[in-house]
């Protein structure tokens, strides 16, 4: 049965599948509790809720007997770091350059789940991608898809780093796969690549320093000390993933809807800073970026402008100092001062 499910899942578009028991990650509960106790989740208050379920998949749905973990590749065609060297452009993380993966993965999980129920009448399923209290990375490791690298994400010898995770919990008994072990060895490339030093130790992250958290999850003004470190990253960050030597073996993305939209590959910061609410929603319809709203997005763009050192942006920045959103007006003020002081340093 398991091999038939695997064959169907791969045919449906997933890149890999593995199976584990719901109680396969006993260490995760305590590690999650420590992460939350240290406040490393920042403003993501939902991580501190339902800790019992998040830390213990067997408690989430006691009738479940197996967890089917699925990997969905979104490997980029371009060098993801190229854009980071272009200060007048905004760097959007690879995963967010086209359609929202939540929608695509969830639909595919349901396709596999429906087929499974047809094959095994009486079996029940629940599908999860990202938003439920389920720790997908340790489950993925237990199911043999890959291992949690020192950057804490799951990577695989044949998958590389660029893949999403989805889970199907089922009442069906399936033979578990062998858990994967770490193949990081002495490598520290991801830890060294992080622009904000967000790893207090290998295999641990402090989300409060992570650019992905700061640009996507954090509302209100970002700590001024961290703003210069954002560079031109305006939504998410790929530096630790891109640094990994295992990407040499990364499988190609099979889903065309993750391929970068032309206008999101190297967007000009001044076009993005001028977006109003309607313009923002039109540009990011169907994209994961839509979720953060115009204000947080323009806030991020203004930090990037402040970091550009490019006085051509000054007029745009000055016009946003009176923006009704306090985080936007604060970011505009900061960017104006930073651009003007860069001008002073140039002796212009």
Catalytic residues: 130
Which of 237-270 are b and which e, b meaning 16 or more Cβ less than 10 Å from the residue's Cβ? bbbbbbbbebbeebbebebeebebeeebebbebb
Nearer to ligand SF4, 112 or 165 (CB): 165
Residue 217 touching ligand B12 (CB under 6 A): yes
Which residue, 115 or 203, has its beta carbon nearer to ligand B12? 203
Residue 137 contact partner, candidates ligand B12, ligand SF4, none, CB within 5 to 8 A by sort of partner: ligand B12
Pairwise CA distance, residues 227 & 249, whole Å: 34
Give, rounded to a whole angstrom, the gap between the first and last alpha carbons of the chain.
72
Q: Toward ligand B12, which CB reaches closer, 107 or 343?
A: 107
Residue 243 in contact with ligand SF4, rule: CB under 6 A: yes
Residue facing ligand SF4 at closest CB distance:
149
Nearest to 30 by CA among 135, 165, 148: 135
The site string for ligand SF4 over 161-200 (x = CB under 6 A, - otherwise) reads -----------------------x--xxxx--xxxx-x--
Residue 276 C-beta: closest distance to ligand SF4, Å: 29
Pairing of strands 91-92, 233-235: parallel
Angle of the 101-119 helix axis to the 2-12 helix axis, nearest 10: 140
Instruction: List, as one string, the DSSP characters of 48-91.
Output: TTTHHHHH-HHHH-TT--EEEEEEEE---SS-TTGGGG-TTB-E
Structure tokens, 105: 């993965």
Per CB under 6 A, contacts with ligand SF4 among 81-100 are none
According to DSSP, the residues that pair with 182 across neighbouring strands are none
Q: How many CA atoms lie within 13 A of 147 on its CB side?
A: 14
Question: Are 129 and 164 within 8 A, CB to CB?
Answer: yes
**129 lies in the site for ligand B12, by CB under 6 A:** yes
Q: Candidates 132-140, 245-253, 263-271, 298-306 — which segment interacts with ligand B12 by CB under 6 A?
A: 132-140
Could you tell me which stretch among 25-33, 170-178, 262-270, 301-309 binds ligand B12 (CB under 6 A)? 25-33
> Which residue of 24, 210, 301, 332 would you call a contact of ligand SF4, by CB under 6 A?
210
Which residues of this chain interact with ligand B12, rule CB under 6 A? Answer: 28, 31-32, 35, 44, 93, 95, 129-130, 134-138, 148, 151-154, 163-165, 203-205, 207, 210, 212-213, 216-217, 236-238, 240-241
């Amino acid at each position: 049965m398991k091999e038939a499910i695997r064959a169907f899942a791969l045919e449906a578009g997933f890149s890999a599948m593995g199976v584990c028991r719901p109680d396969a990650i006993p260490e995760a509960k305590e590690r999650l509790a420590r992460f939350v106790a240290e406040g490393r989740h920042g403003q993501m208050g939902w991580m501190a809720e339902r800790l019992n379920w998040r830390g213990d998949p067997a408690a989430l749905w006691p009738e479940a007997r197996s967890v089917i973990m699925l990997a969905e590749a979104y490997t980029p065609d371009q060098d993801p770091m190229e854009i980071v060297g272009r200060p007048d452009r905004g760097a959007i993380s690879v995963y967010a350059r086209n359609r929202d993966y939540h929608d695509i993965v969830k639909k595919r999980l349901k396709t596999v789940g429906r087929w499974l129920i047809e094959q095994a009448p009486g079996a029940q399923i629940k599908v999860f991608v990202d938003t439920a209290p389920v720790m997908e990375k340790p489950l993925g490791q237990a199911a043999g898809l890959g291992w949690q690298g020192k950057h804490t994400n799951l990577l695989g010898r044949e998958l590389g780093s660029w893949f999403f995770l989805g889970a199907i919990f089922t009442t069906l008994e399936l033979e578990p796969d062998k858990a994967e072990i770490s193949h990081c060895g002495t490598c520290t490339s991801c830890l060294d690549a992080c622009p904000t030093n967000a790893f207090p130790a290998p295999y641990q992250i402090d989300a409060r320093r992570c650019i992905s958290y700061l640009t996507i999850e954090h509302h209100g003004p970002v700590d001024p000390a961290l703003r210069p470190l954002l560079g031109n990253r305006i939504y998410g960050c790929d530096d630790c993933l891109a640094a990994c030597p295992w990407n040499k073996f990364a499988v190609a993305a099979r889903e065309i809807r993750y391929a970068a939209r032309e206008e999101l590959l190297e967007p000009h910061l001044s076009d993005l800073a001028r977006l109003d609410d309607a313009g923002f929603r039109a540009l990011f319809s169907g994209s994961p970026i839509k979720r953060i709203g115009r204000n947080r997005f323009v806030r991020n763009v203004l930090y990037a402008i402040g970091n550009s050192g490019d006085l051509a942006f000054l007029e745009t920045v000055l016009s946003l100092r009176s923006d009704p959103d306090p985080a936007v007006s604060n970011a505009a003020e900061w960017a104006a001062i930073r651009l003007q002081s860069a001008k002073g340093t140039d002796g212009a």
